[in-house]
Amino acid sequence: MKYCSECGSETEKRIPEGDNRERDCCKGCDLIHYTNPKIIVGTIPVKDESILLCKRAIEPRYGKWTLPGGFLENGETVSQGAFRETLEETNTEVEMGELYAIFNVPQINQVYMLYLAKVIKDDFSATTESLEVEFFNEANIPWEELAFPFVPIALKNVFADMKKNEFPLTTHTIERRK
């Protein structure tokens, strides 16, 4: 950050008094600009032991398969954002279930929150964000064509949990290999 969003003055990186981290601080009005992780929300849309996946029509990972999801917007609850993102990417409404998985991705400053969801109609279709939208059962998941590291983890977990009919909330941390 070069300029303060409040007064337009230049900013500098420094540790503010009473803090323990370097921050962007305004040289003019002394405003401290905190940056926090982005929240990504989405669903695992299920019907008859199959999961609805989207083939991305946008970067990053254009043409790869993923679960419907995206950035939480201001003014939304996590559940509302997950529902909206699912509708935007699959063109269908879902019945929202419980929060199922949280993925911490610290190297890109993101936290993913995925809900279980039930697909209630077969009216899904491609959208401006999805080239294709299709149901996959465990045997035909395109494992080598999945977009992001959290997707195979979530899919493997949900298929295992379907067999037990138990769906505990789990947390995961995905860190870049060194």
CA distance 173 to 110: 11
pLDDT at 65: 98
What's the whole-model pTM score? 0.92
State pLDDT tens for residues 102-158. Answer: 999 999 999 999 999 999 999 999 999 999 999 999 999 999 999 999 999 999 999
> What is the Cα–Cα distance from 149 to 58, expressed in whole angstroms?
17
pLDDT tens digits for range 65-94? 999 999 999 999 999 999 999 999 999 999
> What structural domains and CATH numbers belong to the chain?
1-35 (2.20.70.10), 38-173 (3.90.79.10)
From the list 123, 40, 125, the residue with the least C-alpha distance to 81 is 40
**Amino acid letter for position 47:** K
**How far is 40 from 11, CA to CA, in rounded Å?**
28
